[in-house]
Amino acid sequence: MATHLRVCDEKNLKDGDIMGFDYEVDADNSTRKANKRLLIAKIGGKIYATDGICTHQYADLSMGILNEDEKTVTCPLHLSAFSLEEGSPLNPPAEEQLKTYEVFVKPEDGGVYVSLPD
């Protein structure tokens, strides 16, 4: 079963927006917490969610460049681009894929939610 994490209000997320969202997860069999970061982007009315840290080196992808036509985000550190749809790296130096997540909007509260695996 997935955890549904509320990340923002849909009305506050416009086409072309890119944002980071921090959250905590259990680590080491729930004895401590670990910080994680998501990247949230909206293109053409569709909202995407991926891991928010570049897989090559620690860089916040929400500080990167969003390409709406290609549906990609480019890392601000070494310029690796990632597909927002699949998470795949499109050029070096990144070689590992970003995790992508299902996103939905709850009409009853207007919130944008990301489904995280348990």
**Confidence grade of residue 117 (pLDDT, cut at 50, 70, 90):** confident
DSSP for residue 74: E
Residue 26: count other Cβ atoms within 10 Å of its Cβ.
Answer: 11
Residues 7 and 33: their CA atoms lie apart, in Å, by: 19
pLDDT at 32: 72
Q: Of 40, 56, 39, which Cα lies nearest the Cα of 93? A: 56
pLDDT at 118: 76
Average pLDDT rounded to a whole number, residues 23-45 = 85
Average pLDDT rounded to a whole number, residues 45-52 = 98
pTM greater than 0.75: yes
Indicate whether 48 pLDDT > 90. Answer: yes
Q: All domains of the chain, ordered by start, with CATH?
A: 2-117 (2.102.10.10)
Q: Phi and psi dihedrals of 56, rounded to 5?
A: -85, -60
Residues 6+ apart with CB under 8 A from 48: 39, 40, 41, 42, 71, 84, 85, 100, 103
- Cβ distance 21 to 7 under 8 Å? yes
How does pLDDT run across 66-105, given as a tens digit for each residue? 999 999 999 999 999 999 999 999 999 999 999 999 999 9
